[in-house]
Chains A and B, each alone.
Chain A
Amino acid sequence: MNAMIVRRVIPPVLLGLAALVLWEALVIVADIQPYLLPAPTAIGAQLAMVAPALLSAMAATGSNALIGLVAGAAIAVTFALLASRIPAIDHLIAPIVAAIAVVPIVALAPVLTSMFGATSESPRRVVVAIVVFVPVFVNALRGLRQVRPVHRDLMRSYAATNGQLTRHVTLPGALPFVMTGLNVASSLAVISAIVAEYFGGLQNGLGSRITSAAANSAYPRAWAYVVGAIVLGLIFYGITLAIEAATNRRR
């Protein structure tokens, strides 16, 4: 077990460190200006300096991403359930989903910001929910349609109600598919929460800190916030991966 961890964890960590050393050396030797590419040590120094602000920015963006993710996923699963049960809704919703799938979030964010007002977190959460909706919906619907005929026959032989079929067979069977959708959606949630901040509104999140630092020529600081964004994305991805593994162990 320990040997396996050593073999699987040490090489990528070493590779990352080597890349950082190479990066530092390149910046010094080639005398690269900070606005092009700051040195890792400069970014590290900024990280330490802005740590409290960085953490609060991560919390602000992270909570927007989380609320949007949960809301978008819940709506997506609900609509997928309806579409899998009622053909009319399925036909109605298919073109709407196609339309949502191609909505450019860059176009929607400023409109929503002026709609909700500049002091509201809501436009970011709505943007995240819209982005999250499509992958969760598509995967959930696919999972809900995977009910094995033998399970359907079995539940019919038990004279089970539609609700019982959904609760005991359809939903648990669709869970791995929903998790696959959430996996994709979790990364998209963080990205869209950050991008949504680029279009004005509150200045408390990672996206607005990155733009304001860059606007003030504080390039290492901008990069420090970028590092924060990467960490936040990894946290979201890791948590959904862990939830997926926990729900998958039992099948």
Chain B
Amino acid sequence: MTNATTASVPAVDVRGVTKTFPSRRGDDVTALLDVSLSVHAGEFVSLIGPSGCGKSTLLRIIADLDSPTSGEVSVFGKSASGARRDQDYGIAFQSAGLLPWRTVAANIELPLQLHGMTRPARRARVSELVELVGLSSFASSYPDQLSGGMQQRVAIARALAESPRLLLMDEPFGALDEMTREYMQSELVRIADESAAAVVFVTHSIPEAVFLSNRVVVMSPRPGRIQTIVDVDLGSNRGERLREDAHFFEKVTIVREALHGTPAPHSASRGVDHR
């Protein structure tokens, strides 16, 4: 998972990005203020913060779905729009965003089809992907026949279709129940390991961020800026047991206190956050 040293060019390099949204009454809203962040190749970084801290805006700027007001973004050394045109990243949103008139296989196939892959090659790749996300027996189902978690897995398979070196995820598990959510997190750890892609993961769940990430970027709102960055590094062997590990709770506490803006004294007697 942490093969950050293998590549010298960072997967994502954000330098001094500010984003203001003009409002009708003239008082502009500053969504991001002077944000700088570097994500290494193969690294898993979560962006966490209360709503309005600009974490989704930052992700959209990296994806070139929004442009920064000032500052620069490079993805694998290219401009954000160059990286988008070269399909250097895969993206998953909070809503799965599947096309309801396409089957599971056809949804996963969409990016391959758009970029001119031949039909036999597409078919082979799609069958790999449905297997990767454990949906082989649902390949010919339609999205409305699937549960929310399954739809989200299809969206992840679609994001992985072109084996991107960078995966951008905007609260992909936000709408799932807790059980499904933990299952999906474990799946994502496995998938990210297998694909060796860098991941930028937006969430508002502290345990989720700690469980998944090498680093957790804690953001504060109005204006959105990076408060602190917490190194997690719980190792690559992240089984279900990790969720009950003292080390895990310690990191959860650190992130939580960073989020609430209180200093984090490292005492074992402090209550841990189970959310």
Inter-chain contact A148/B114, CB cutoff 8 Å = no
Inter-chain contact B99/A153, CB cutoff 8 Å = no
Residue B181 interfacial (CB < 8 Å) = no
List A contacts of B97 (CB < 8 A). 148, 150-151, 153-154
List B contacts of A251 (CB < 8 A). 100-101, 142, 144
Inter-chain contact A172/B99, CB cutoff 8 Å = yes
Inter-chain contact A157/B89, CB cutoff 8 Å = yes
| Number of CB contacts from chain A to chain B under 8 A | 49
CA distance A148 to B84 in the complex (A): 20
List A contacts of B115 (CB < 8 A). 158
Residue interface bits A140-182, CB-to-B below 8 A is 1, else 0 = 0000000010110110111110001000110011010000000
Residue interface bits B43-72, CB-to-A below 8 A is 1, else 0 = 000000000000000001001110000000
Inter-chain contact A159/B99, CB cutoff 8 Å = no
List A contacts of B95 (CB < 8 A). 150
Inter-chain contact B65/A157, CB cutoff 8 Å = yes
CA distance A173 to B95 in the complex (A): 17
CA distance A57 to B98 in the complex (A): 48
Min C-beta distance of B77 to chain A, whole Å: 18
Which residues from chain B sit less than 8 Å from chain A, CB to CB? 60, 63-65, 84-85, 87, 89, 91, 93, 95, 97, 99-101, 110-111, 113-115, 142, 144
Min C-beta distance of A189 to chain B, whole Å: 27
The DSSP consensus for interface residues of chain A is helix
Inter-chain contact B91/A154, CB cutoff 8 Å = yes
Which residues from chain A sit less than 8 Å from chain B, CB to CB? 148, 150-151, 153-154, 156-160, 164, 168-169, 172-173, 175, 250-251
New A-B pairs, 11, CB < 8 Å, besides A157-B84, A160-B114: A153-B93, A157-B63, A157-B91, A158-B110, A168-B110, A168-B113, A169-B99, A250-B100, A250-B142, A251-B142, A251-B144
CA distance A164 to B111 in the complex (A): 11
Looking at the complex, which one of A153, A158, A164, A172 makes contact with B101 (CB distance below 8 Å)? A172
List A contacts of B91 (CB < 8 A). 153-154, 157
7 closest pairs, A vs B, by CB? A150-B97, A251-B100, A159-B85, A172-B101, A157-B91, A158-B114, A158-B111
CA distance A153 to B91 in the complex (A): 10
Residue of A nearest to B103 (CB): A250
Residue of B nearest to A172 (CB): B101
Inter-chain contact A150/B99, CB cutoff 8 Å = no
Taking each of B63, B64, B111, B113, which has the highest tally of chain A beta carbons within 10 Å of its own beta carbon?
B111
Task: Given A150-B95, A164-B114, A251-B144, verify A156-B65 contact (CB < 8 Å).
Answer: yes
Inter-chain contact A250/B87, CB cutoff 8 Å = no
List B contacts of A250 (CB < 8 A). 100-101, 142
Inter-chain contact A159/B101, CB cutoff 8 Å = no
Inter-chain contact A158/B87, CB cutoff 8 Å = yes
